[in-house]
A and B are shown apart, each in its own frame.
Chain A
Amino acid sequence: MRFFNSTIHLAIRDLWHERVLTACLLLSVSAIIAPLLLLFGLKNGIVDTMRGRLLSDPSSREIYPRDIQGTPFPDKWFTETMDRPEVEFVGPRLDVAGDLTVRFSRLPSESNSYATNCQVASVGDPRLPLLGFEAPDDGQVVLTLSLAEKLGIQNGDAVTALVDRGGLSSPVETALAKLVVCAIVTETVPADRAWLPLSFLVGVRDFREYLPVPEFGWPGTKDEVGPRYDSLLTLVSRTLAGKELMEVSLKPPGLSDARVIDSDELFRLTGLVSRRESTPSAIMWRPIGNLVPPTAIGDLEKRLGEIGIHSVVLPLIEPIPVKIKCASGVITALNLIVSNESGASESLQTPEAAEVDALFSREWPGGIFSKDAESLDAESRLAREREENSSTSQPLIRATPVETEPGPNLASTGGETGLSKSPSPTNLPDITESRPTSEAPLLNAEQMLPSNPSKVAPESAGRRRLQTEPAALNRIAIEIADSSTVSEGEARILINGMAGLLDVPVLVTKKKGVPEGSALVEAIRGGQIRRALVESIVYEDDHGGFHRKQDKFRDFRLFAARLEDVAPLAREFEEMGIPVHHGSDRIAQILELDTNLTRLFWIIASASAGAGFFGLVASFFAAVERKRRDLGILQLLGMPKLYIFVFPMLQSAFLSFCAFALAFFLFKTFADLINTQFGSELRAGETFCKIQRAHALNVLKATMGFGLVASLVAAVRSSRIQPSEALRAE
């Protein structure tokens, strides 16, 4: 230790003695290290900043399905997924396509209400902390400042949510809910927006689906779903032409495609034949991309009535391929079509409508065709139908008038007491609760607000009620050709629905005139089955009808715990057949940038370090050559050879340390300058140029390591100096 201490002392005294040369060497080494530190700091800072922004932005870890899934996700799936360590949060996704717009007003009235896009705010959602509020409890709402200012309310005030349903061709109904504002988002979101608990928005969604929402007291159809039709056929008592036709062609909402059909096509489609020589006008109305709700029938009649044209409106569906299974077990493929004898328009009660109806005779069969129903399975039939739907070719449609005579439910649901809170299972409120759009009633949390029956169902609006008896609805009746091999009596029909195979009990009767290969069903049932092809609807024997499948969510929003978890999770969903949107691409870009910058850094660092290394080797070697005499004297005086060897290495270590310190000082100076210059582009806590303590320590180690290795040549050289050289040199 005595020699080591002496060597350190001598080495440092020597460096100090040659301080000008030492300073030059120090500067030359620092001039290599400082730019490298700066380069590494920039790479590190930029990548860290980008990575930090990705990390702080939960959307980069967000995964959600590209499409609404056919198979809903059960609650258990959400629970199990949430428990996975690579998942930070997962919840149902409801706010797609802005379909959860709710109006807010200060008072429980529609005056000064503002339609606002609503989002789910659940506990654990990583977006909420960034927005600066916690998930609202039941009965609470979070609003943006702009919306709160419009409403003139503050945190803690009450606000009324007005939830509308209907619209398009169906009447608007509005439900109310009183909420308390629990937070106001001040800066982050400039637009009008509201955040609500999942339960509330699920209620909004269900209300719009005409489902009852008991927790908020919002009424809906308790059980059966209403029918949907492919198109409507309007029969007018006289021939329309010129200006009249133009006026008729003014399209009612939701029915964007209207065309006049001739008598041949009418016969082919419906089996209806005009009793007159002059052909009454028949106009077919079709929506684009949607099915027609039954409320559109009344709307259409009203529109035509307003321009003085009395009409009968028939709903049409395209033939649905089904299989009928008899009690004997024989399965036969048939096309399900709606019967034109199963209903009648309520408007027929008016003299004008009755006059229209009287113009036609029902001549089943009439042009009904089913070329190859036996050979086509249901799936291929559906595909073909879809293609035909999108084309302008002759559609495969059959029509039947809907029964419109007032039934037992009409008095109770459409009478003086207003709308029923609990319609009977056989009631189909899609139709019974329809109202003119302009006179929408309000429904509050306790009950529907009092509505004026006269406004609800003006006679002139052509309000429709199902005439069908409950017993008749419970057992679906179908009629088949009397020549069919299918036997009469109880049977079941099998339908490929959206929610799976529907197995529906039916009562089969044979009837003369029904075309071969077809089965006639009443319009409402046909409409329900048509709807089940595109919506998640099941047939329940227990309740005797078509019901929405009770799965709640068909979409989700998931946040991975770490950036690295996003790609594997996304891949997992893809493998499950669920294409998802995710931020993996952005993450991959950052990681690739990091890799490339690191590679670039190492290329530059290697070149610099290589040049610096050989520079150091030369410098230390020269220093040893300069000191041969001194090192010889030290040996002559008895300094062990080992310490003569160590002498230049100690000098190198000291120089390297000082060079690093100087380089770090220079780096800090320039890094601060860079960060100040680009400060306006940085968020709080971000820096463009920075290195971590561990990085600095590694650079120090590397510098000293390089220095020591570079001094090895000099060390070996010094250890070979003979003490006699001191004598000779003298």
Chain B
Amino acid sequence: MEDDAYTIRNLWIERRQSDSGFRLEVPEFRIKRGEFVAIVGSTGCGKSTLLDILGLVLRPDGAAQFEFACPRKGLRDVLRMPAWEMTRIRRESLGYVLQSGGLLAFLSVGENILLPAKLKGGISDKRRRLRDLTTRLGISDQLSKSPQFLSGGQRQRASIARALIHDPVIVLADEPTAAVDRLTAEKIADQFKELAASTGASVIMVTHDTTLVAPICDRAYSFEIRREVGGLVVSRCHELVKTVTAPSK
């Protein structure tokens, strides 16, 4: 358990509207350092909500245990964590790969990649890492360009580089290959896993494409949905048994 980045037990969050509601329940969730975990599920199952909670941008309504293993600071109780500390953890220990890259249009590709390092501090020793990451991702010649002039795949690669530039503990990826073709998606997923493994970062990838992540993930979580009286939809997150088989390449 000491190697777990997250330790979650009996976490829940509920959102109610007038005649309906949604409740996400996570009986147990853990991820070890350097592990590649996939969260799969259909639309509306609550995978993005779980990603928000794991990305420390959404506080759950309750949990028996919700701890994050901060480097040098040990386990931190997220439920009682002040907002500023959640921001600090996001800045220092988390990396994000968003669906369309999530690059800022007013910065160049290079500046976008370096931004987390700049916010974390100590940008000077990240120049070499920038070159290394972008070379390995094949976008080193795109650094001075504006993100709008990159292809979808290049944007996602730049986003991966940005997520890894500041040596985070966890990288959270939300459908990172949804906007690219299958071939490119597989290539990006492989590069992503390889780079994350080389940096020792754990990866949590949210995707609806089970076949894409099955070959590369160490473990996977999915959701079991039931409708209760009063219109409440309850989505229960559970770890999948390794039944996912890798498709033939």
Contact = CB atoms under 8 A, between A and B. Distances in A.
B106 A730 contact: no
Interface stretch (B10-18, B50-58, B136-144): B50-58
A683 interface: no
B62 interface: no
Dominant SS among interface residues on chain A: helix
Interface residues of B, number: 32
Given A638-B92, A640-B84, A641-B87, A727 B51 contact: yes
Given A2-B121, A638-B116, A13 B90 contact: no
B22 to A, nearest CB: 15
Contacts of A639: 87, 91, 119
A722 B87 CA distance: 12
Contacts of A18: 106
Nearest to B49: A724
B167 interface: no
Given A727-B48, A728-B48, A730-B100, A17 B106 contact: yes
A637 B117 CA distance: 10
Interface string A711-730: 00000000000111011101
Interface string B57-78: 1100000000000000000000
B106 A16 contact: yes
Contacts, number: 76
Nearest to B174: A727
Contacts of A730: 98-100, 102, 174-175
B105 A636 contact: no
B115 interface: yes
A638 B90 contact: yes
B119 A6 contact: yes
Scoring A3, A635, A637, A728 by chain B CB atoms within 10 A of each residue's CB, the highest score goes to A637
A633 interface: yes
B13 to A, nearest CB: 12
A630 interface: yes
Contact of B102 (A16, A17, A724, A726): A726
Interface centre among A634, A636, A726, A728 (most CB of B within 10 A): A636
B120 A722 contact: no
Contact of A637 (B51, B119, B175): B119
B88 interface: yes
Contacts of A727: 48, 51-52, 55, 57, 96, 98, 174
A55 interface: no
A125 interface: no
B88 A638 contact: yes
Interface in A690-725: 722-724
A16 B111 CA distance: 15
Contact of B91 (A13, A638, A641): A638
Given A2-B121, A723-B57, A727-B48, A636 B90 contact: yes
Interface in B83-114: 83-84, 87-88, 90-92, 94, 96, 98-100, 102, 104-107, 111
Contacts of A2: 119, 121
A636 B104 contact: no
Contacts of A638: 87-88, 90-92, 94, 116, 119-120
A341 interface: no
Given A636-B96, A640-B84, 4 more contacts: A6-B119, A634-B104, A641-B87, A727-B57
Which 4 A-B residue pairs are closest in the complex by CB-CB distance? A638-B91, A17-B106, A730-B99, A730-B98
Interface of A: 2-3, 6, 10, 13-14, 16-18, 630, 633-641, 722-724, 726-728, 730
